[in-house]
Amino acid sequence: MVGTIPTVITGIAAAQLVSSGTLEILTEGFFSLPILSQVSLFAILFSIVFLAVAISQFLDPDDHHHSHDPPPAPINYPLQAITNATTERDRFLALYPHIRTEILNHLSSTHELIPEATKWVETMMDYTVPGGKLNRGLTVLQVHRTLTQSSAERELTPTEVARSSVLGWAIEFLQAFFLVADDVMDESQTRRDQPCWYKRSEVGNIAINDSFLLESFVYFMIDTHFGTEEYHKQLITLFQEVVLQTEVGQLLDLTSQKMVEGKPEVDLTRFTLARYKKIVKYKTAFYTFYLPVAIGMITSGVTDTKAFEVAKKICCRMGEYFQIQDDFLDCFGDPEVIGKVGTDIQDNKCSWLVVHALDRATPSQRTTIEDNYGVWDDAKVNKIKAIYKELDMPKVFATYEEESYTAIQKELDSVTHLPRDVFELLLKKIYKRSK
C-alpha cells in the first residue's frame, strides 16, 4: 500500500500542472536552459524519485513482495466421519479416501494423467498403503493428542485430528514406498497376507516406478496441507533426512552380503554386532519411531532442541528392540499371524539371530551355519533353524527382551522435557508383540 503513494502524488501534481498551464511554461523554460543545466535538473529529478522509492520500502519493506494470488481454498476434511468414529484407528482411516482423491485429482488435472494410468495409481495405493497395522501413522495422532492434553489440557478438535492424520498417512505412504522397493530387492513373496505388489502378474518391475510415486505423494500431502505453516520447511527437512537415513540403513543391509558376478555370496565374517546395530538404527529406528514422534512434537509446538535429542535417543533404543523382535518373528513367528513368510535365512540377511548364533556356536555348529545359510532350500533352512534351537535362541531372545524393556523403562524415568506417556504408548505397542 505504501509503495503506491508516490504514484498517487505524482498523478495529482501532473494533473494540476496541466490544468493550470504551468506545465507549458515550465517546458518552455526548461528547453531554453543550457544543456548542462538541463542534465543537472534531470539528475535532481531522478534523485527525488529514487529517494521516494527508498522511503516507501523503508516504511513497508515487504510491500513489493506481497502476493496478490487468492488465499488457498479451505480443505473440506471429512469431519463428520471423524466425529462419528469410535476408535482412533477408525478416525485415522476416515481420512484415507480424502487423501487418495486429492492425489488422483492432482495427477489427472496438473499432470494430465490419463484415466487408465489414474486407475492404476488408485489400485496401487489401495494395495500397498492402508493394509498394514498403521502403527506409525497412528502414533503421529496419538503423540499430538498426548502433548495437547499435557500442555493445553484439552482434547484435539476434529480438524486437528484430520491434520495430524494427514501427516500420519504421509508416514504410511513412506512406509509403502520402502516396502514396495524392499520386496523387489529381497525378492520377497508375500506382504500383509497377500502377494507382494511386484509379484502380481500385471505389475512386475513397474513396482519400482510405483515406489517412486508413493514417495512423491508424501511431499505433495505435506505441501497441500501444511504449505502455509511456519513449520512447513521443518517437516520437509525432517522427512528428507529420515528418508536418507533409511536408505543408508538399507545400503548397509544390502552390502552386508558379498556380491560376486551379480549374485550374493555368503561371507559370515561381515555379520558383526556393530554392523547389525547400525543397520537397525538407520533402516528401522528413525522412520518407525523417531519420525512419528518428531512430527507430533513439531505440530504440537515443541521447539526445545533438547526435547528432540531425548526423543531421538529413546526412539532409537526402541527401534533396536523392535527390529530384533522382527528378526526373531521372521524365523519363529507364525506366518498366519505376522502376515508374511520369513525369508531372512534364505536371503542371507545380517539378522540378530545369526549374529548371536555365530557368537555362541561351536566350531561344528559354525560350519553347519556356513554351509547352509543364505540358500533357498527348505532342507538347509531347517538345518539353520535346528542350530538356533540347539543354541536356545528363543530363550536368549526372551532374556534380551526383558532386559531391553527394563533398560527403556529406566531411561524413561529420567525424561523431563516431554510427557512420559509419549513413549509409553509406543512401548506398549511393541512389548511382547507377536506380529
Annotated catalytic residue: which of 100, 173, 182, 271? 182
Which residues are CB-contacts of 121 (< 8 A; sequence separation ≥ 6)?
103, 104, 107, 113, 213
> Is 304 an annotated catalytic residue?
no
In the residue annotation, 183 being an active-site residue is answered as: no
Q: Note if 278 is an active site residue.
A: no
Whether 359 is a known active-site residue: answer no
Residue tagged active-site, from 210, 326, 344, 347: 326
Task: Kindly name the residue from 91, 145, 281, 283 that is annotated as catalytic.
Answer: 283
Q: Which of 177, 178, 271, 289 is catalytic?
A: 177
Active site residue 193: no
* Active-site option among 183, 210, 253, 344: 253
Task: Point out the catalytic residue in the list 91, 163, 191, 281.
Answer: 191
Single out the catalytic residue among 133, 270, 313, 389.
133
Q: State the amino acid at position 222 in one-letter form.
A: I
> For residue 125, which of 175, 160, 87 has the smallest C-alpha distance?
175
Any residues with CB less than 8 A from the CB of 255 and at least 6 apart, and which? none
Q: What is the 3-state secondary structure (H, E, C) of the chain?
A: CHHHHHHHHHHHHHHHHHHHCHHHHHHHHHHCCCHHHHHHHHHHHHHHHHHHHHHHHHHCCCHHHCCCCCCCCCCCCCHHHHHHCCCHHHHHHCCHHHHHHHHHHHHHHHCCCCHHHHHHHHHHHHHHCCCCCCHHHHHHHHHHHHHHHHHCCCCCCHHHHHHHHHHHHHHHHHHHHHHHHHHHHHCCCEECCEECHHHCCCCCCHHHHHHHHHHHHHHHHHHHHHCCCCCHHHHHHHHHHHHHHHHHHHHHHHCCCEEECCEEECCHHHCCHHHHHHHHHHHHHHHHHHHHHHHHHHHCCCCCHHHHHHHHHHHHHHHHHHHHHHHHHHHHCCHHHHCCCCCCCCCCCCCHHHHHHHHHCCHHHHHHHHHHCCCCCHHHHHHHHHHHHHCCHHHHHHHHHHHHHHHHHHHHCCCCCCCCHHHHHHHHHHCCCCC
Query: Dihedral sign, CA of 100, 105, 110, 112?
Result: positive
Catalytic residue, chosen from 271, 322, 397, 423, is: 322
Q: Is 237 exposed, middle or buried (0-12, 13-18, 19+ CB in 10 A)?
A: exposed
- Catalytic, 191? Answer yes
Catalytic residue among 60, 186, 267, 421: 186
Task: Let me know if 46 is a catalytic residue.
Answer: no
- Catalytic site residues? 133, 177, 182, 186, 191, 253, 283, 322, 326-327
